[in-house]
Amino acid sequence: MDYELLKLEVEKMMSDKRYRHSLGVVESAMELAQRYGCDMEKTMIAAILHDCAKSFSRKKMLDIIEKNDLDVDEITYYETQLMHGPVGSFVAKSKFGVDDEEILSAIRYHTTGKKSMTMLEKIIYLADFVEPGRKYHGVEQLRKLAMADLDKAMIQAFDNTIKYVVSLDSVLHTDTIEARNHLIMERGKITLEYNSNELAKKIKEWIEDKNGTDVEIIDVKDLTPMTDVFVIASGSSTVNVKAIAEHVDEMASKEGIEPISNEGRQGGRWILIDFNSVVVHVFLEEERQFYDLERLWSDGKKL
Ligand SMILES: [Fe+2]
Ligand SMILES: [Fe+2]
């Protein structure tokens, strides 16, 4: 599929402002795809097309739904804002010939989310919230969270959406609630029998075993429901960063503790190991300074 051609077609279908937003979503989605190892081409196509039906009138969308017998639930039918997801997915398929089910699903669910989303679906959903043109309160934090932990960022984005929709006295889609509950329940399955501060201190020792430096333990319990403690450390090279992460993994495993996610391993520039109540970041110094998590969580208590 020729992305440049898609871009030109999409540009014709919407206002300048919406087109700029779509390009912003491409930019953020590609950054996330690179970070998490998602298919770049699929990401680019889903991102540029995600709002392809957003400029359609309610009448036009209803016509498309009825003529093509699209499967649209009662809530979506009621709320015009939600219709461009399923209609956009149909347009992507019928007008642009997209036949990849995952791309079509990412477009379909980019406004509501749904239970058990794939990585591509999560990336498109989040990129829509954090693209460079977005300027709302808290966007910078969500941007960084999206790069650090995809699922936590999803929960945060669902929370924001739910609060916003309620503030508008509008209807809340059950897919959004199910998506949020599902992610939280998945994480909750990891019940930890040890104290998060103790585990963080052990992790600090394991990091230092492999010559990790500048290890900081930051207590963020009072700042976010997402985790209790961050452990942030630096490695001297990508090889060292990987060795530190592997050692932490191995030692934790010996204690019967398995991470719920483990990201960024190939590159070795920033590895995140998520033990749920303790989240470990091992950085190359350059990356550490750029993302500056310590500043982001500067209200946390250093332990
Ligand atoms: Fe949209
Ligand atoms: Fe959008």
pLDDT tens for each residue of 239-256: 999 999 999 999 988 887
**Does residue 119 share a domain with residue 264?**
no
**Nearest CA-CA partner of 89 in 67, 75, 109, 116:** 109
Distance from Cα 55 to the centre of ligand 1, integer Å: 10
Measured between alpha carbons, how far is 121 from 142 in angstroms, rounded to an integer?
17
pLDDT in tens, 91-130: 999 999 999 999 999 999 999 999 999 999 999 999 999 9
| 149 and 7 share one domain | yes
When mean pLDDT is compared across 52-61, 98-107, 285-294, the lowest value belongs to 285-294
How close is the Cα of 186 to the center of ligand 1, in Å? 27
Supply the range of the domain harboring residue 25. 3-187
**pLDDT, average across residues 198-212:** 94
Same domain (yes/no): 149, 274 = no
Q: Which of 124-133, 222-231, 260-269, 279-288 has the lowest mean pLDDT?
A: 260-269
**Structure confidence at residue 303 (pLDDT):** 83
CA of 187 to the centre of ligand 2 (A): 28
* Domain final residue, candidates 138, 169, 187: 187
Q: Could you tell me the distance, in angstroms and rounded to a whole number, from the CA of residue 137 to the centre of ligand 1?
A: 19
Domain end marker among 187, 216, 238: 187
- 130 plus 214 within the same structural domain: no
Q: Are residues 143 and 211 in the same domain?
A: no
Confidence at residue 191, expressed as pLDDT on a 0 to 100 scale:
44
Which-ligand-closest: CA of 128?
2
| pLDDT grade for 31, boundaries at 50, 70 and 90 | very high
Q: Identify the nearest ligand to the CA of 133 by its number.
A: 2
Dihedral sign (CA 38, 24, 96, 93): positive
Q: Give residues whose Cβ lies within 5 Å of ion ligand 1.
A: 51
The mean-pLDDT minimum among 115-124, 154-163, 180-189, 204-213 falls in: 180-189
Q: Taking 60 as the threshold, does the pLDDT of residue 236 lie above it?
A: yes
Q: How far is the CA of 105 from the centre of ligand 2 (A)?
A: 15
Highest mean pLDDT: which of 51-65, 181-195, 239-253? 51-65
pLDDT band at 213 (very low <50, low <70, confident <90, very high): very high
* Domain count within the chain: 2
Q: Mean pLDDT of all residues in the chain?
A: 92
pLDDT of residue 200: 93
Please give the distance, rounded to the nearest whole angstrom, from the Cα atom of residue 115 to the centre of ligand 1.
18
Contact 203, 210 (CB under 8 A): no
The answer, yes or no, to whether residue 7 has pLDDT greater than 70, is yes
